[in-house]
Structure 1
Amino acid sequence: MPLSVSRMQVIDRYQEAISRVSAACQRAGREAGAVTIVGVTKYVGSEEARWLAEAGCHDLGESRPQALWEKADALSDLPIRWHLIGHLQRNKVARTLTCARCIHSVDSERVLKQIIDDSRGCENPLSILIEINISSDASKTGLSFDEARRLLQYWKEFQREAPHNGHLQQKTLQLNGLMGMGSLDGDEHQTRKEFESLRLFRDDCETEFGLELPQLSMGMSNDFEWAIEEGATMVRLGSTLFHSSTVS
């Protein structure tokens, strides 16, 4: 998807996004500061990403680890918190942990184990989210609710055994919540039900496992206002910031 935007357009669209987020929070009876805009830069270069960061969006997201590494190096002079929102392979975990401050896409026990192992000695805080497939699209990535429960049980056991196994990174490595994507072709009712299902699942798991899972990463350019009204704390916006279309 070729993009053609100017610096001022990016600034204007970011300010418009802030206003829309604030309005959605108000409708839901929530504080505007309760929702973080993650600017998704996967379709633009480092220059455009810099415009967005300099406009005040300090949370930027990338789908591919290699692109995150490259942009993190190019924009290292800015106070950016990098988010990996796409699939992460085990052999790319260690390099990604040097840049990312949040990984939204933990979707297997193997990847979680790799993150735990590679985060030994890391000084920078890292937040991780479990990705769940909340749509009816079987081709999408993410765990089922039952698989996510098993992964949360594994995390709970890790927390309990960590001090005995020499894992001292508990203060910097935190499993803070869940991520999900609504159906791309779903109507408002269906999409809201999908977001609601993730929020209700999170609430159940907090009780079941005694965990705090405050973060819900859900909602993109075409549905983020619905997501906020259903409880999202992070929305991932790309095309609404960098493209004339509102299709994510």
Structure 2
Amino acid sequence: MTDRRNELAANLAKVERRIAAACAAAGRAREEVTLIVVTKTYPASDVRILSELGVRHTAENRDQEAAPKAAECADLPLTWHFVGQLQTNKVRSVVSYADVVQSIDRSRLVTALSREAVRAEREVGCLIQVALDAGEPAVGRGGRGERGGVGPGGIEELADLVARSEALRLDGLMTVAPLTGEYAGRQQAAFERLMDLSTDLRSAHPAATMVSAGMSGDLEQAVAAGATHVRVGSAVLGVRPRLG
């Protein structure tokens, strides 16, 4: 366990240096960017070590793995983020532990989250996941993207629905750098587009200031664009084992 703790501490320090350098290069204060460690495929023991090392935000993308892990770590001072595509039949379980759901991309999901959050007497933060697979006409009209998410044209309607839904809180926007379309391979341009969309959103919903973008390979571009949160997994925890 000591070896694993040393490994995680060294990796975390490297990521911290990258974020700090990116903030300095962008003329931003380090405190403007929150690190979310994506712990998917790694055990609760790693989450516990990370918490001891000062990590306060963790993320998961599959409920069947996240639910027991969150339960095992319920005593830790962590904010849990759900970042995967979420099916409505998993919403009750996800609401039991997730403080923030970053993958809001359709009205049925908002309705289900609100109902279950009310039942659980919890407030759940929500990010609209934006699909920037531009060039796909359906996405441009507000359809869903290849990796989940709603097109830019669908943000306003979903945001308004979240804002008026009981037990939900509209926190902002999230995106994953797209693999296709005009932003493929242009992560910073994609993240800058997300920031423009965030500015538009905040004109109607001033409290929706969170912008979640950037992962292990492109966190610098996200920080340069103005992201408030970066989601880092492998750079902290190591290369993930293949899922069978």
Task: Please say whether Structure 1 and Structure 2 have the same fold, judged by a TM-score greater than 0.5.
Answer: yes
Cα deviation code 1:186-207 (max 9, x no counterpart): 44xx111100011101111222
**Equivalent residue for 1:202?**
198
Residue 139 of structure 2 is aligned to residue 143 of structure 1:
no
1:152 to 159, 172, 186: 159
**Equivalent residue for 1:224?**
219
Deviation at 1:66, TM superposition (A): 1.9
Give the paired residue count: 226
Q: Which runs of 5+ in 2 are unaligned?
A: 137-144
Counterpart CA distance in 1 for 2:20 and 2:121 is 33
After the TM superposition, which residues 1-248 of structure 1 pair with which residues of structure 2 at under 5 Å, given as runs? 6-120=4-118, 122-136=120-134, 139-156=146-163, 158=164, 167=166, 169=167, 173-183=168-178, 186-187=184-185, 190-207=186-203, 209-243=204-238
Is the Cα contact below 8 Å between 1:38 and 1:60 reproduced in 2? yes
Is the Cα contact below 8 Å between 1:60 and 1:82 reproduced in 2? yes
Is the Cα contact below 8 Å between 1:133 and 1:180 reproduced in 2? yes
Letter in 1 for 2:200: D
Counterpart CA distance in 2 for 1:155 and 1:104 is 12
Counterpart CA distance in 2 for 1:206 and 1:214 is 7
Counterpart CA distance in 2 for 1:223 and 1:94 is 33
Is the Cα contact below 8 Å between 1:134 and 1:195 reproduced in 2? no
Greater CA drift, 97-106 or 5-14: 5-14
Greater CA drift, 232-241 or 22-31: 22-31
- TM-score under structure 1 normalisation? 0.84
Cα deviation code 1:30-78 (max 9, x no counterpart): 1111111111111211122222121111211001012111111111221
Deviation at 1:126, TM superposition (A): 2.2
Is the Cα contact below 8 Å between 2:126 and 2:162 reproduced in 1? no
Greater CA drift, 120-129 or 232-241: 120-129
Counterpart CA distance in 2 for 1:244 and 1:120 is 38
- Between the aligned residues of both structures, percent identity stands at 29
- TM-score under structure 2 normalisation? 0.85
Q: Which runs of 5+ in 1 are unaligned?
A: 160-166
Note closer, same or farther for the CA distance 1:210–1:127 as it changes in structure 2 (3 Å cut). closer
Is the Cα contact below 8 Å between 1:135 and 1:181 reproduced in 2? no
Tell me the secondary structure at the aligned position of residue 159 of structure 2: helix
Is the Cα contact below 8 Å between 2:85 and 2:103 reproduced in 1? yes
Deviation at 1:244, TM superposition (A): 5.9
Tell me the secondary structure at the aligned position of residue 68 of structure 2: helix
**Equivalent residue for 2:142?**
none
